[in-house]
Amino acid sequence: MEARKWTLKQKIEGMPTVEDFVIATEILNSTLEDGEILTKAEWWTVDPYMRERANHLSVGEMMLGGQVARVIKSCHPQFPQGSQVIFVDYLTPTLWEYVACQGCNVIGFAGTDDKVAWLKTLGFDQAYNYKSVDLVETFQSNVKQGIDCYFDNVGGEFSYHTIRNMNTGGRIALCGAISCYNEDASKPYFVPFVYMNLIYKGIKMEGFLVYQFAKEWLDGISQLRDWIIEGKLQVEETVSEGFETMPQAFIDVLSGKNTGKQVIKAL
C-alpha cells in the first residue's frame, strides 16, 4: 500500500513557489500491530507557520500539517474502523470572535477591503485595511483608548505600531510572525525597537501555543461548537479540491488570498 506526501524539492527562498515541492510515495505496511490504525485523509489544512518550519527541513523531508482522516483499519480500541480522527499539527480558534463573545472591544486589521467588510459582519467594533491606512494616524485618531490585549500573529512593523499604542499593564500573546516568514532565514531579522514601551508600561509578553492547553482542548472544542450552533461564531472557509492543489493553497495563504480557514478537500 502506498501513501503520497508532499516533500521539499529544494530550499525555499522568499515566497514559496509550486516548484519548491514534489510528491513522494511511501510504502505502508497494511499489517497493523496492537495500538496502530490505518487512516485515509478526507481534509488537509495549510497554515502560515508551515513556512517558518520549512526553513528547518532538509531537501526530501516531508512538510507537516493537519488533517481529518477516516479510520479504515484499526487495532486500537479507542479508534474503531469508520471513525474520524483529527490530526492537528497546529490549531488556532476563531480568536477575534471568541474575545468578542467575552465582552471585549475588538479592533481588527485585514489586507483587503472585502475582508474588512467581512470582519464587520462578524461584529468587530472597528476594522481597517492595514495596506491602505496610515497606521500611526489610525491608532492616534481611532484607538485613543489604547490597547489592553494584543494577540500577535504578524510581527514586524505592524506589531511595532501596535505595541507603541498599548496601555500600561497590557498583555501580548505571541503566536506568530507572518510578516517575517519569507525573510532570509540565514540572516537575523531586526524588529523596530519597542523595549522601552514594554519596560515603562509594564507590558507582559508571552509565547502562546495551543499545545500548552492540551488539558483544556476538548473543553475548548465543545465551547466553540456550542458557539457555532448558537450563531456566535461564524465559520468561513476557502476550499480547494485535490491533494495536488496543496502547494498553491499554501502559497495563497501566505499571499493573503484566502478568507477564513484554508482547507483542501480530498477527491
Considering Cα of 226, then 49, then 127, then 260, what sign does the dihedral take? negative
Q: Which of 207-211, 237-241, 252-256 has the lowest mean pLDDT?
A: 207-211
pLDDT, residue 4, reads: 95
Q: Which of the four pLDDT bands, split at 50, 70 and 90, describes residue 19?
A: very high
SS3 238: strand
pLDDT, residue 30, reads: 79
pLDDT, residue 191, reads: 63
Averaged pLDDT for residues 193-208? 91
Reply yes or no on whether the pLDDT at 119 is more than 90.
Answer: no
User: The pTM is what?
Assistant: 0.84
Residues above pLDDT 90, as percent of the chain: 56
Averaged pLDDT for residues 106-122? 89
pLDDT, residue 88, reads: 46
Reply yes or no on whether the pLDDT at 123 is more than 90.
Answer: no
pLDDT, residue 233, reads: 82
Q: In terms of C-beta distances under 8 Å and separation of at least 24 residues, what long-range contacts does 160-165 make, across chains too?
A: 160/191, 160/192, 160/194, 161/135, 161/136, 163/194, 163/197, 163/198, 163/203, 164/139, 164/194, 164/197, 165/139
Alpha carbon 177 to its chain's center = 10
**Residues near 54 by beta carbon (within 8 Å), at least 6 away in sequence:** 8, 12, 16, 63
pLDDT, residue 85, reads: 58
pLDDT, residue 211, reads: 82
pLDDT, residue 224, reads: 86
Averaged pLDDT for residues 55-81? 91
pLDDT, residue 90, reads: 37
**Residues near 228 by beta carbon (within 8 Å), at least 6 away in sequence:** 235
**DSSP tag of 190:** P
* pLDDT tens digit sequence for 149-186: 999 988 888 899 999 999 999 999 999 888 888 887 67
pLDDT, residue 86, reads: 56
The amino acid at residue 136 is V
Q: How far apart are CA 109 and CA 126, in angstroms?
A: 9
Output the DSSP codes for 94-124. -HHHHHHHTT---EEEESSHHHHHHHHHTT-
Q: Which of the four pLDDT bands, split at 50, 70 and 90, describes residue 102?
A: low
CB of 69 closer than 8 Å to CB of 95: no
Averaged pLDDT for residues 5-26? 96
Average pLDDT over all residues of the chain: 87
Residues above pLDDT 70, as percent of the chain: 90
